[in-house]
Amino acid sequence: MRVYLCAVGRLRAGPERDLIDDYAARFDRTGRALSLGPLIEHEVEDKKNLGMAAEAELLARAVPNGALIVTLDERGALVSSPEFAAMLARWRDDGRQDLAFVIGGADGIDPGLRARADAQVSFGKMVWPHMLVRVMLCEQLYRAASILAGLPYHRA
């Protein structure tokens, strides 16, 4: 199952980019044997600053046709790491070819795009900068693959 990270904004070189690259490489390496991955990033940018609706249109175009859509949103479900791993495994086992995680910009995700999502996941009630959410998602993808592979990375 290919995993897409569709996000608003361009991430430049720096600590966030380094962390994403590291966790994405770990996920790809660990997930390969589990039929998870690769992780493919699609960055979109609303250069005209037209707002959430314009971002939603760009994000929708970045999502592959037929992909299961998961928005990362503070209103989403709070799930543990093992529950997140089980969700990935269930979607994979259901024969899903593509899974797209959608991360909005500073104002969040347009309600219309949120309504199209198959699932919504939250990293807590706090609002996180969208660049950090990318890092947290990549780490959780690697953690999920580690859990499914029976590796000791997740110790809870």
What is the full per-residue pLDDT of the chain (156 aa) written as tens digits? Answer: 999 999 999 889 999 999 999 999 999 999 999 999 999 999 998 877 778 899 999 999 999 999 999 999 989 999 999 999 999 999 999 999 999 999 998 888 999 999 999 999 999 988 888 889 999 999 999 999 999 999 999 887
Structural domains of the chain sorted by starting position, each given as residue range(s) with its CATH number in brackets: 2-149 (3.40.1280.10)
The residue among 68, 3, 4, 64 whose CA lies nearest residue 32 is 3
* Predicted pLDDT at 154: 87
**Pair 101, 72: CB distance under 8 Å:** yes
For the beta carbon of residue 21, count every other beta carbon within 10 angstroms.
14
Per-residue tokens: 136: 């947290």
* Predicted pLDDT at 55: 93
**Pair 148, 82: CB distance under 8 Å:** no
For the beta carbon of residue 110, count every other beta carbon within 10 angstroms.
21
pLDDT in tens, 1-19: 999 999 999 889 999 999 9
* Predicted pLDDT at 17: 95
